[in-house]
Amino acid sequence: MVSKAIPDIVVGRLPLYLRALSFLAAEGRQVTSSQELGQKLGISAAQIRKDLSHFGEFGKQGTGYDIKYLSEQLRRILKVTEEHEVALVGAGDLGHALVHYDGFAGKGFRISVVFDNNPQKIGRRLGTFEILDSESIETIIADRGIEVAIVAVPPNAAQEVVDALVRAGVKAILNYAPITVKVPEGVQVQYIDPVIHLQRMAYYL
């Protein structure tokens, strides 16, 4: 179990390590080193070793890391050894893209229900899903015990949606709406706003 004393920035790098290990495994590799991982990720080998040391000893000096074993341990630490059901709120263009995105497969997450508040969309199909009324978020998510959600709604609707998700028992929210939402302690929110990242990069142009 991840300790609260471990910096969030360290936890945030673990998925990067897991992704790099997955690529190496796909190449048929069995062993890697902190130096090789560092070269692939642009992170120092010392930082990688320090990050992993928060959770135990996973490699041996001179022999490196067993890729399969380290991948399994990182999945355990990140709690993605089993698949988490994900609720998607928002069946617009972004919602369509997320439903048809195959990158979730095998990574510990699966969209299992889709909501929207547009009467013209409710009841229609989006991929294999029937789009459900956002008014039913609290009932359906609570009944199914879903703890992870993706918010892909306009900014003026985001806080209301997040409030409903929290009341339903959701503990982790990926927010695509370009607005900072308020959540109670114990609920994790991550933000994806491409404009913010583009503006940050534009500084270096």
Question: Is 121 part of any domain?
Answer: yes
Q: How far apart are CA 23 and CA 29, in angstroms?
A: 9
Q: Are residues 128 and 147 in the same domain?
A: yes
Which residue, of 22, 56, 78, is where some domain finishes? 78
Residue 185: Cβ-neighbour burial (10 angstroms; 0-12, 13-18, 19+): exposed
**pLDDT recorded at residue 25:** 95
Are residues 57 and 130 located together in one domain of the fold?
no
Nearest to 139 by CA among 99, 118, 183, 169: 169
Residues 88 and 68 in one domain: no
Report yes or no on 203 lying in a domain. no
For the chain, what is the domain count? 2
| Residues 177 and 124 reside in one and the same domain | yes
Tell me, yes or no, whether 97 and 168 share the same domain: yes
- pLDDT tens, residue by residue, 145-203: 999 999 999 999 999 999 999 999 999 999 999 999 999 999 999 999 999 999 999 99
Q: Are residues 98 and 190 in the same domain?
A: yes
Q: Which two tokens stand for residue 42?
A: 């642009």
Enclosing domain of residue 40: 8-78
What local confidence, expressed as pLDDT, does residue 56 receive? 85
Query: Considering the domain boundaries, does residue 95 fall inside one?
Result: yes
In a domain, 174, yes or no: yes
Domain final position from 52, 78, 104 = 78
What would the pLDDT profile of 82-130 be if each residue is shown by its tens digit? 999 999 999 999 999 999 998 888 899 999 999 999 999 999 999 999 9
| Sequence-distant (≥ 6) Cβ neighbours of residue 70 within 8 angstroms | 17, 21, 52, 58, 59
Q: Reply yes or no on whether the pLDDT at 1 is more than 50.
A: no
Residue 204 counted as domain residue? no
CATH number of the domain where residue 174 is located: 3.40.50.720
Question: What is the reported pLDDT for 145?
Answer: 96
Please indicate, yes or no, if residue 71 is contained in any of the structural domains. Answer: yes
Query: How many Cβ atoms sit within 10 Å of the Cβ of residue 77?
Result: 19
Last residue of a domain, one of 16, 45, 78: 78
Q: Are residues 92 and 191 in the same domain?
A: yes
As a whole number of angstroms, the distance between CA 138 and CA 126 comes to 21
Residue 127 within a domain: yes
Collect contacts of 10-14 with beta carbons under 8 A, ≥24 apart. Answer: 10/51, 10/54, 11/78, 13/43, 13/47, 13/51, 14/51, 14/74, 14/77, 14/78
pTM: 0.88
Tens of pLDDT, residue by residue over 45-84, are 999 999 999 998 887 766 789 999 999 999 999 999 999 9
Do 179 and 91 sit in the same domain of this protein? yes
Together in a domain, 177 and 108 = yes
CA distances from 29 to 16, 24, 70, 205 (A): 17, 5, 13, 38
Shared domain for 133 and 190, answered yes or no, is yes
